[in-house]
Chains A and B, each alone.
Chain A
């Protein structure tokens, strides 16, 4: 029976059927498919979450090996395992709405997440201060545009020098937005092409058939 699940053709057929379940109701008025499509999408969302179990196992295995071998930074692995275990136990024992679990989230997870995101501001600041050099005419124009937008973004400037607004808005909304759209066209077309490759059996790596792409 395992041949059935390992068969490339069977996997491809399931892929094509799943694709049609999502594609057809979006573009075509075929109400008979809506129910199947909804069920399939819910199933895929649930199954995806089970992958977390694999991650937890992988992290335990790796960290325990690092600790036993006293590799560089092994102390951090102890910290990681202890916190991970505590949160898993708390989550199962008392539930995610319990005060103690929420305390762990609010005291450790949330601030750490905020710090890593907040540091971005400092990195962007230093990168911008370091990189903006008028080495050429193009670079000089870029600096002028950048300074215009920076001045506009500072709320005090808008209050005292409202005249800067049309130039900055032009740069942000017309130039910036149109570049965004151009990138989006490329990214979306590439994503659809990847789907074409998958559906025609030319990109099978995601199904585990590495090095066996079809012709």
Chain B
């Protein structure tokens, strides 16, 4: 049966073993373009963490302490782009409530690229709120291009500034644990997102609220109402359902007939 599957997917001109991957990627392209072009925006539910973000911002404003919001240390990854939507939302509320917003940037060599976008987003939110003078570039420092130097700088900011809320979304990895625990120590409400899968369990213990994997891009899409981000969430859901169906069908076929056709298909 595996031989049949191999010959089925031995498409001339396609590198051996990559035909199914090519088909799946083309599928994402087609679905993505379809959903992005649709007039009707895909529905996604309101993620619970959005309420937590609003609560955290309100708490900071009442306490007269600044808000600290970071979007991760990767380059233009999908989680970082989604985190920018959260940053825009936080910046808008900070501008409206006259609360100081701190955005530490850096952490990787590609952080220089995303920093420019973050600066633009925050500045434009202050301008739209009619308070351009509130924007302060020094509140968005580039700490370092190295992970642990960035972490040390971030922790220093936490200890010196003592924010009321720390919102850490986007592409954070192992430094998220350091930051979450330190923000607990300074008494800040900690909201994180777990895109670094290895860290997620520990981060869930250290944070007051955590957005698991897809919840953070979904929160970003919900807040921005951006058709492109909404289409992304919809395509991810479709592919997750497809994966589930393949797993269940494969299990049924394997147990009923002893045939691992699905496994061969996925390995082709």
A54 to B15, CA, bound (A): 40
A187-B239 in contact (CB<8A)? no
Q: Quick one: closest B residue to A76, CB to CB? A: B156
Q: Looking across the interface, which residue of chain B has its beta carbon closest to that of A114?
A: B148
CA distance A186 to B218 in the complex (A): 12
B70 at the interface (CB under 8 A from A): no
Distance, CA A185 to CA B21, complexed state (A) = 13
Of the listed stretches B90-98, B229-237, B248-256, chain A binds: B229-237
Interfacial residues of chain A within 142-196, with CB under 8 A of chain B in the complex: 179-180, 182-187, 189-194, 196
Asked if A138 CB lies within 8 Å of chain B CBs, one says: no
Cα-based distance from A187 to B233 in the complex (angstroms): 11
Are A185 and B240 also in contact (CB < 8 A) when A116-B152, A190-B217 are?
yes
B8 at the interface (CB under 8 A from A): no
Number of A-B residue pairs with CB-CB distance less than 8 Å in the complex they form: 159
Sorting the interface of chain A by its residue count into under 10, 10 to 19, 20 to 34 or 35 or more gives 35 or more
In Å, the complex CA distance between A191 and B138 comes to 31
Let me know if A52 and B145 touch, CB within 8 A.
yes
Partner of B15, one of A29, A51, A55, A208: A29
| Interface assignment of A13: CB less than 8 Å from any CB of chain B | no
User: Are B195 and A187 in touch, CB under 8 angstroms?
Assistant: yes
Known contacts A52-B145, A200-B33: does B81 contact A194 (CB below 8 Å)? yes
Residues of chain A in range 196-215 having any CB-CB distance to chain B below 8 Å: 196-198, 200, 202-203, 205-206, 208, 210-211, 213
Kindly supply a per-residue 1/0 record for chain B positions 77-110, scoring 1 wherever the CB is within 8 Å of any chain A CB and 0 otherwise.
1110100100000000000000000000010011
Q: Which of A190, A208, A211 has the largest count of B CB atoms less than 10 A from its CB?
A: A190
Interface of A is mostly: helix
Find the A residue at minimum CB distance from B141: A62
Give the dominant DSSP class at B's interface: helix
Taking a contact as CB atoms under 8 Å apart, the answer to whether A183 and B81 are in contact is no
Query: Is the CB of A117 closer than 8 A to any CB of chain B?
Result: yes
Interface 9-mer from A2-10, A35-43, A92-100, A128-136: A128-136
A196–B33 CB distance below 8 A: yes
Interface status of A120 (Cβ within 8 A of chain B): yes
With a cutoff of 8 Å between Cβ atoms, the chain A residues found around residue B151 in the complex are 116
Asked if A137 is an interface residue, CB under 8 A from chain B, the answer is: no
Q: A26-B15, A126-B181 are in contact. Are A193 and B117 (CB under 8 A)?
A: no
Query: Which A residues lie within 8 Å of B148 (CB)?
Result: 112-113, 116-117
**Known contacts A28-B14, A126-B181; is A131 also within 8 Å of B204 by CB?**
yes
| Beta-carbon contact of A117 and B206 below 8 Å | no
Q: Smallest CB–CB gap between B197 and chain A, Å?
A: 5
Residues of B within 8 A of A (CB): 13-15, 18, 21-22, 25, 28-29, 32-33, 36, 76-79, 81, 84, 106, 109-110, 112-113, 116-117, 120-121, 124, 138, 141-142, 144-146, 148, 151-152, 156, 160, 174-175, 177-178, 180-182, 195, 197, 202, 204-206, 213-214, 217, 228, 231-232, 235-236, 239-240, 243
A-B contact pairs, 7 of them (CB 8 A): A27-B22, A62-B142, A71-B138, A113-B148, A117-B174, A197-B36, A197-B228
